[in-house]
Homo-oligomer: A and B are copies of this chain.
């Protein structure tokens, strides 16, 4: 299949590579020339603009962009995708943005005859490279069925969450809970250890009890409890604090518009903000445990 692909950053580039590996033909665009060059070397065809992706003879266009502002510009701009896309070309936006904007862009697309899906991912750059991403997809049953094989070339868990924007809504809800859970684990581990329990013993108790959660049993933030997690390598790599901060910002803004309280969520957002303002926004989000670290006594 001939596919257009826009956005070749840390996530988009490995996703595009997986589509090439699956045998698809790709026409790609990114404002960073080196990003384009790397994909061309891997077998993609370069075009000059978002509009040129749309005018290429593609059946599907995939976008992976930083935020809603870029999504709106790329889709709704004067030289954007909607201005040039041929009828019935399927548009799949994998960016993480707010559900409201996702619905706005989808409505514009469908009004002119282009089916659209929002399909944000989880799994990070590791999952993007390994082709094991989770896709949370919003849109019609038929469009989801059409996109599924394509998404399966880039991920292994493809979930249909309902109509337009529901992929974003599900992701925002999941990451709200993730952001809270991680701080909860940080507090529980630090408290138990301060009270004298060995960290591995404590994690063992929690992971077989009612406190069990992904942040504890798969991504424990306390150093020495697990291997192969950011806590085992100085909190490098992984999912950055500033990305968690972005997602919690989407969650609290969506909550505000829906007039729905997110009390712990808003506090979690502020704690990541505090930690980021102290200069640690580039560390993995599990480093938030250091906000609770006590200074050694003199």
Q: Which residues of A contact B (CB under 8 A)?
A: 99, 122, 134, 136, 157, 159-163, 165-166, 169-170, 172-178, 180-181, 183-185, 187-192, 194-198, 201-202, 204-206, 208-216, 218-219, 249, 251-256, 258-271, 273-274, 276-279, 291-295
Residue from the list B187, B205, B251, B279 in contact with A263, Cβ < 8 A: B187
Assembly CA distance A235 to B277 (angstroms): 21
Q: What's the number of copies of this chain in the assembled complex?
A: 4
Which chain B residue lies CB-closest to A204? B159
Which chain B residue lies CB-closest to A189? B173
A161-B205, A177-B188 are contacts. A261–B249 as well, Cβ < 8 Å?
A: no
Are A162 and B198 in touch, CB under 8 angstroms?
A: yes
Contact residues in B for A216 (Cβ distance below 8 Å): 177
Are B122 and A174 in touch, CB under 8 angstroms?
A: no
Are A270 and B279 in touch, CB under 8 angstroms?
A: no
- What's the minimum C-beta distance from A126 to chain B, rounded to whole angstroms? 13
Chain A to chain B contacts (Cβ below 8 Å), 18 pairs: A159-B201, A173-B202, A174-B209, A175-B210, A176-B184, A178-B210, A187-B262, A187-B264, A187-B265, A188-B265, A191-B265, A211-B214, A213-B213, A256-B273, A259-B276, A260-B292, A261-B270, A266-B270
- What's the minimum C-beta distance from A227 to chain B, rounded to whole angstroms? 19
